[in-house]
Structure 1
């Protein structure tokens, strides 16, 4: 017997799917607009014609006009029918044109681009149960992830997250030793080094390509004198000397997060602190059935769980691990204090102490 769908529910669901499909097309348009400088050509100048925007960006008008209409249909630019012009509002500019904005999003579309390019690896992983190491992904992933998190760290790390920890900012001002685990391109390490010139920073990662980028970024930022980067795992760096150990959006990617937490305990100096920054998540699946959960569960399927499985450990936490699972790992590692220090719509910021 075939069960017929409720027509109203069916239409609502179909509308949702079409909207999601349109959004995936729109992501390509955002990436193109960013790389061609189309958003910047519209920034802070008011309404412009397609010809004016094309001239400012040095692009073909006919392509630009079609792109503008896609953006207007997405609600990403404003169209003025009476004059046939297009405008980037201040709100839209903060997301698409201002590279220093904490919500500058265009580079984030590099991540789903890499997910498509790595589709065959993911399909094979599903069928075999094997993992996909971080280093095996398409190169657009590394740049996309670094850029996606960079401005959020810039906006929050020094001004909000570190002050939410007990006594950490005072130590950093007078001179502390800091380890940044899974540092990637080094943005988090560098932001701290610029803010606290009396402290010394070590960034560690197992992806040499990212470490090379981190070293270049440190040189360009003028902090190479107090920042070093090493190719070493999260359970093998120096012990007993760090006042602050940071895990930025990386613990859930590890196959052995328990070993990383145990090593952090031995690597801390007396009265040291671990700062654990993880994707925002509730503790139950039903708590995460929302747009943020949709974003993180999807990325976690192809990246986070896949890398953890490749390490053949006891865990594949995924990006929506939640505070309860994270607390259990640090409690079992010997930490006596574990608390939620602060949060953003995208992150949980947790503090662990001995």
Structure 2
């Protein structure tokens, strides 16, 4: 025989259980689920856009009238079956317009203005390349997340080429006539002839552009990537430039003393293992009347400020998967997105730059331009 003891009121409660979500919570859950489905789809579109850019499909489509997948594949010299699947994804995304009656695909001119070379610095297709590229190091980043440490530049095949491609579209459009004039009197000094150093020069395209425009000045590029320096030298030779020199150098160890009238750094300082040390070296390399032109990430050092950026989450992702990780891999500070305009300005001051101006360049919404003088 068993006895049941009742210790609670058996009357059913009309109040919702604490374990049951409220109506507001249920709405928020549904909204987040819908958002993540949209994110999943958008991520797929980003990968399709990346491969379309790399395969030249957007450039090909921009030259064609409405065409079949066979015609598009032939024009692009690509495999038709893969082109057809890609076109299906782009049609589902609304990037390419499909006519089911004629079984043709059309790429509107308004879309080409965003996704082809006609867009110039505003070509968003080339930016999509970073999504699959960063995904390629996810397992390595996961290891670092668990155990600390970082990654090496060698683990990012093609990254430097993609960055060079991205920066080249900006520099080709506005470097000589739009960016250099940010420094009052600089174009005239370059025309007369001065000494210029670019730290973290990568493939050297910016230097070569400046050297071609100002043959009386002398330009030196430092980068620790032998691949980048080789590309810089090759381009300089192809252009017949006699006023450039490129060296494989770790800019954290340069010991130049007052040798240059202008030092430039194009999106390179925040990636350094020890940015403060590099900025101190830049100050030492400048002559007393010299100027430092630094192009670097346009973001805030404060998390709450970056939430307002349309690409805020992207900045943190590329920092975690590249900028921060490679710095930590070099035994560095790993500043990543912590490096924002506030910290950059403070570190410039600590390096000995007492006059710092921050300027926006409309053609380059992702970067801030710092004009700094001793």
Aligned counterpart, 1:345: 365
Which residue among 327, 337, 342 is the counterpart of 1:308? 327
Consecutive unaligned residues of structure 2, counting only runs of 5 or more, are 1-17
The farther-off stretch of 112-121 and 144-153 is 112-121
5 Å matches for 1:5-84? 6-80=25-99, 83-84=102-103
Q: Does 1:91 align with 2:110?
A: yes
> 1:124 Cα deviation (Å)?
2.0
> 1:237 Cα deviation (Å)?
4.9
Which residue among 241, 246, 249 is the counterpart of 1:232? 249
Conserved? CA contact 1:278–1:319, under 8 Å: no
Question: CA separation of 1:200/1:140 partners in 2, compared to 1, >3 Å: closer, same or farther?
Answer: same
Equivalent-residue separation in structure 2 for 1:69 and 1:45 (angstroms): 17
Conserved? CA contact 1:178–1:200, under 8 Å: yes
Conserved? CA contact 1:204–1:231, under 8 Å: yes
Conserved? CA contact 2:51–2:129, under 8 Å: no
Equivalent-residue separation in structure 2 for 1:100 and 1:229 (angstroms): 31
TM-score normalised according to structure 1 size: 0.90
TM-score normalised according to structure 2 size: 0.86
5 Å matches for 1:200-349? 200-223=218-241, 225-235=242-252, 236-289=254-307, 290-313=309-332, 315-319=333-337, 321-343=339-361, 344-349=364-369
Conserved? CA contact 2:112–2:119, under 8 Å: no
Which residue among 162, 167, 183 is the counterpart of 1:165? 183
Larger Rg: 2
Paired residue secondary structure (1:101):
helix
Equivalent-residue separation in structure 2 for 1:85 and 1:172 (angstroms): 53
- The count of corresponding residues between Structure 1 and Structure 2 is 351
Equivalent-residue separation in structure 2 for 1:199 and 1:332 (angstroms): 30
Conserved? CA contact 1:280–1:320, under 8 Å: no
The farther-off stretch of 37-46 and 323-332 is 37-46
Paired residue secondary structure (2:311):
helix
Q: Could you say what the CA RMSD is over the residues aligned between the two structures, in angstroms? A: 2.3
Equivalent-residue separation in structure 1 for 2:150 and 2:239 (angstroms): 36
Question: CA separation of 1:110/1:212 partners in 2, compared to 1, >3 Å: closer, same or farther?
Answer: farther
Paired residue secondary structure (1:102):
helix
Aligned counterpart, 2:4: none
Question: CA separation of 1:46/1:287 partners in 2, compared to 1, >3 Å: closer, same or farther?
Answer: farther
Question: CA separation of 1:233/1:90 partners in 2, compared to 1, >3 Å: closer, same or farther?
Answer: same
Equivalent-residue separation in structure 2 for 1:280 and 1:209 (angstroms): 27
Spell out, residue by residue over 1:148-167, the C-alpha distance to the aligned partner (whole angstroms, 9 max, x if none): 22212222322222111232
Conserved? CA contact 1:100–1:151, under 8 Å: no
Consecutive unaligned residues of structure 1, counting only runs of 5 or more, are none
Equivalent-residue separation in structure 2 for 1:214 and 1:349 (angstroms): 23
The farther-off stretch of 297-306 and 116-125 is 116-125
